[in-house]
Amino acid sequence: MKRFAIFSENSLARRLMAMAGLIGVLLLGGIVLILSTLYTSQILTILDNELDRTITTLQGAVNADANGQIIIDADREPSDPFFETPLSGRYWAVLVRGPAGIYQPVAQADSVWDGTLPWPTDTLEIVSQNAGQPLRENGVGPNDEPLRMVGQALILSEIEHPVILVAGFDRSETDRGSLRFTLILAATMAAIGSGFLSALLLGIRSALAPLRRIEADIADVREGRRTLMETDYPREVLPLNLELNKLLEHNRGIVERAQTHVGNLAHALKTPLAVLGNEAKGDTPLDDVVRRQAGAMHDNVQHYLKRARAAARAQTAGARSEVAPVLNDLARLLNKLFAERQITVTVKCPKALSVRLEKQDLEEIAGNLMENACKWATNEVIVRATPSDTMVDITIDDDGPGLSPGERVAALKRGVRLDEAAPGTGLGLSIVTELADMYEGSFVLDEAPKIGGLRASLRLPRA
């Protein structure tokens, strides 16, 4: 029996996991984005504060004489040793506006070496017009490293245009630190998310366990291992369980009432038909007609009563019959009935083999086929039952004359008798076909492969 899979298509578990995964990705991804942004902002703030201190130091070191010449007090320059190391990643410069409106450095840190400290030209005028207000930019340093830069205008009374003070620090380490933090944070959140989804998966499996129990109980009822489902279920699924039990009891009641009505009908028709038969004992043509029609009515009533009983039983959940005892009992009976003709009925069937049929219907089907085989057999009838995954194949072979393909088709029609001399009504094989169909099985006639007679092949659902 196939159990439902937790990630099967269109399952509740799959939907819950998909929704939880989507929410988790959005939530944890948002946390990573927010925290990494805050961390980057914080370390940039620290870097900006260092740049601001450098600019403040430069303000104390820059002056102008009476002739408008910029004077840099070497003793008051920023004293960080990195400013004296070529291309160290820490730079400062003092820019003044030339005659052509282009700002040129009048002093810069030794770390700039033989290059220049670049600043976007279009923003220098903005810095100049907002004296005292620092302007922050990202740029590229003399060594092609990414820089965090700040520029601020300093107004000196001796000079017409403000002096621009610029400082820039290499932000490579800052960017790497931000990236490391983001990766570590993302890995941590991924681990948290995986743990959460694993816990959710276990929770879903635990929560859905009662549904798996319901599935198993229904399968047990269907296969005849129990008549009703258990009632020790959690409160949330107990109403479903109780309703299913009510449905099973209701179905059983319908079947029992149908069987009662069928029995009542059989008794109600039996007496009038018997009376007609008794009254028509004469030798007149009318008596002959009445006898034949009463017999036909009796045969048809028996056929449809059997069919109605079988249909009612086929709709009952929990039908289950062991195959070996039924076949062995029928074989013993038929060996006695056909002892004078020396017919031997042999059964080959595993002991632990069951079909989803009522025992009465299995006896009806197998009895019809085995008796029919004995009627036409010369010496031997062989009955075999072979199980497969979901079905049981029962074959009844006889060593009689067999049937042609056309006769096999005709033999399955209701009321057809291929030999009028043989006893019977011609209803047996049609009843077998109808019963097999009711139980979702099949029935065919073929040639017996080894002993040369007729083979009746019956396929029934395995329990």
pLDDT in tens, 14-71: 888 889 999 999 999 999 999 999 999 999 999 999 999 999 999 999 998 888 888 9
Give the pLDDT score at 7.
Answer: 54
Model confidence at 168, pLDDT cuts 50, 70, 90, reads very high
310-326 pLDDT, tens digit each: 555 555 555 678 999 99
Residue 462 tokens, joined: 């395995």
Mean pLDDT of 238-250: 85
Task: Tell whether the model's pLDDT for residue 83 goes beyond 80.
Answer: yes
Task: Tell whether the model's pLDDT for residue 2 goes beyond 60.
Answer: no
- Average pLDDT taken over every residue of the chain: 84
CATH topology of domain 61-172: Beta-Lactamase (3.30.450)
287-310 pLDDT, tens digit each: 777 777 777 777 667 666 666 655
In the chain, the percentage of residues whose pLDDT exceeds 90 is: 42
Give the pLDDT score at 318.
Answer: 57
pTM of the prediction?
A: 0.53
Domain 321-461 classification at class level: alpha beta
Model confidence at 6, pLDDT cuts 50, 70, 90, reads low
Give the pLDDT score at 423.
Answer: 44
